[in-house]
Amino acid sequence: SALLTARDVTYFFGNTPALRGADLTVDAGEVLAVLGPSGSGKSTLLHCAAGILPPKTGSVHYRGVDLAGLDDRRRSDLRLREFGFVFQFGQLIDELTCLENVSLPLRLLGQGRRSADETARTWLDRLGVPDVAGQRPGQVSGGQAQRIAVARALAHRPAVIFADEPTGALDSLQGEQVMRLLVEAVRETDAALVLITHDTRIAAYSDREIVVRDGRTSETRSAA
Ligand code: ADP
Ligand code: ADP
């Protein structure tokens, strides 16, 4: 059943259309790959679907709730609780340790420090980077940073993970490893994953694919 539905979404940067009637449906627990050339509107679609950018026309519903009907506070609460994000460059906070980066969303959701740290530690273990806990993001490798970013995105067990080229800055071996860990963790937590990539090998991890071209979407491959 559909968890998230973006319907006929348009978006403009100034007068330039980035989305011209794009659709996106995300079912609970599915891994959906979003493919398409650079500049076609993939990131903009992700940002609209996640309630970060407001569509100009069209609608986005999450569990039947119209995101446009929520005030900023409620929309950002929903994002924090229900969604997780992984970007191309970890976007970790350099003033915090790696452990604190992972525990921060849990703290923001009201967990106590000890329990948040414990959960964060479990996730760093699971991603194969237990030793980075006390280090700053600036001290770790690119592959480690993306593992930390994955841990941070998943630790609060969101229903939907949005990943925008999560392995785009890694070499292919590191990229494969991070992808495998990401998909494994997503499957284990029953989260859905919306994965932007232009790497067809990475898209091979998905259940379903859509393609974005010139701000419009089409489905290419359905679940077997
Ligand atoms: P993709 O993720 O497929 O590379 P984007 O969604 O990033 O595509 O961009 C879609 C279009 O919108 C492109 O033409 C891009 O240059 C433009 N665009 C994206 N972000 C901005 C922005 N912040 N300001 C102006 N134009 C933007
Ligand atoms: P991606 O394709 O992964 O979105 P881009 O390099 O297209 O990566 O965009 C990186 C960032 O720059 C995004 O935050 C996007 O919104 C912004 N951006 C993209 N195109 C433009 C543009 N023409 N003008 C201003 N900002 C842009």
220, 35 in Cβ contact below 8 A?
yes
**What are the backbone angles phi and psi of residue 150, rounded to the nearest 5°?**
-65, -45
Residue 200 confidence (pLDDT): 82
**How deeply is 94 buried, as exposed, middle or buried, from its count of CB atoms within 10 A (0-12, 13-18, 19+)?**
exposed
Length of the chain: 224
List the one residue out of 136, 132, 127 whose CA is nearest residue 186. Answer: 127
* 32-54 average pLDDT score: 97
Calculate the average pLDDT of the chain: 94
ipTM of the complex: 0.76
Ligand 1 shell residues, CB under 6 Å? 13, 16, 18, 36, 38-44
User: Over 50: is that where the pLDDT of 224 sits?
Assistant: no
Question: For the chain, where are the E strands, in sequence order?
Answer: 2-13, 16-27, 31-35, 57-62, 65-66, 83-86, 160-164, 192-196, 208-213, 216-221
* 183-201 average pLDDT score: 92
Residue 221 confidence (pLDDT): 64
State in Å: Cα 128 to ligand 2 middle. 31
Confidence of residue 90 (pLDDT cuts 50, 70, 90): confident
Angle at 67 between CA 63 and CA 153, to 5 degrees: 70
Distance CA 195, CA 165 (A): 7
Distance CA 192, CA 194 (A): 7
Q: Does the predicted model carry a pTM greater than 0.80?
A: yes
User: Over 60: is that where the pLDDT of 223 sits?
Assistant: no
Distance CA 103, CA 163 (A): 19
State in Å: Cα 14 to ligand 2 middle. 14
Nearest CA residue ID for atom 3, ligand 2: 43
| Run of H or E residues at 131 | none
Nearest CA residue ID for atom 15, ligand 2: 43
User: Over 60: is that where the pLDDT of 36 sits?
Assistant: yes
